[in-house]
Amino acid sequence: MKPIKPNNIVWHRATVTRAAREKLNGHRSVILWFTGLSGAGKSTLAHAVEENLHKMGCRTFTFDGDNVRHGLCSDLGFSDEDRVENIRRAGELAKLYLDAGVIALTAFISPFRSDRARVRSLVPYGEFLEIYCRCPLEVCEQRDVKGLYKRARAGEIKEFTGISSPYEEPEGAELVVDTGSQSVEESVAMVIDLLCEYGVIGPDKADNRLQLNWSALAGATA
């Protein structure tokens, strides 16, 4: 699905700049792109990171793959073509939040390297941080919180990533988190350290990070 670009529209430059928004927020904006199989823990980790950042006083928003498909991408299925368009839209949306000075967290399977690379190409170096939630397929199937793997194995769901549709592992992710074996707390700490490394948040915010009630997050994986 190739978007049509009208020839009678002109980009309007805002008087309130991204730099001004970032200064007001007290941190840089960035896209945190969580990718991995269904059940790998993308949504759990993204929301746990967001809760930490929120308690640090950061402006954040998490785009969950399922939630986006309820609205913005409700017209798309799961064919290769529709998956490409789904990620294209998500990438453009995340870019808008980047301009808004917000730390945009996304939790999408995003199975194709080319799609993730396309989103990366939308923004300058260091503003798209790919986080691979690495989890063995058998562990994802054991979790199967939504019952999707069971249905896919029974042939009820076609083109299901990891079963009847491929997942292409990242080759140059900024961070690899072993969500099959690491705790949520350990994984969150790795992401926060990554944000410090790239200068998104300063040491003052990181030093004041608050501990979450991790037990409340147990069991929810996506």
Question: Which CATH number is 68's domain given?
Answer: 3.40.50.300
Query: What is the reported pLDDT for 177?
Result: 97
> Which residue from 164, 160, 194, 162 is spatially nearest to 176, judged by alpha carbons?
194
| Rounded average pLDDT over 164-173 | 94
| Rounded average pLDDT over 152-165 | 92
Indicate whether 115 belongs to any domain: yes
Indicate whether 45 belongs to any domain: yes
Is 164 among the catalytic positions?
Answer: no
pTM: 0.86
Indicate whether 4 belongs to any domain: no
User: Mind listing the pLDDT tens digit for each residue in 31-63?
Assistant: 999 999 999 999 999 999 999 999 999 999 999
Indicate whether 44 belongs to any domain: yes
| Rounded average pLDDT over 99-109 | 96
Q: What residues have CB less than 8 Å from 216, skipping those under 6 apart?
A: none
List of E strands, the chain: 30-35, 60-64, 103-107, 128-134, 175-178
Indicate whether 108 belongs to any domain: yes
Q: Which of 110, 114, 165, 215 is catalytic?
A: 110
Residue 9 clears pLDDT 90, i.e. is over it: no
Domain membership of residue 94 as a residue range? 31-208
Indicate whether 150 belongs to any domain: yes
Indicate whether 24 belongs to any domain: no
Q: What residues have CB less than 8 Å from 100, skipping those under 6 apart?
A: 18, 21, 29
Number of domains composing the chain? 1
DSSP 161: B
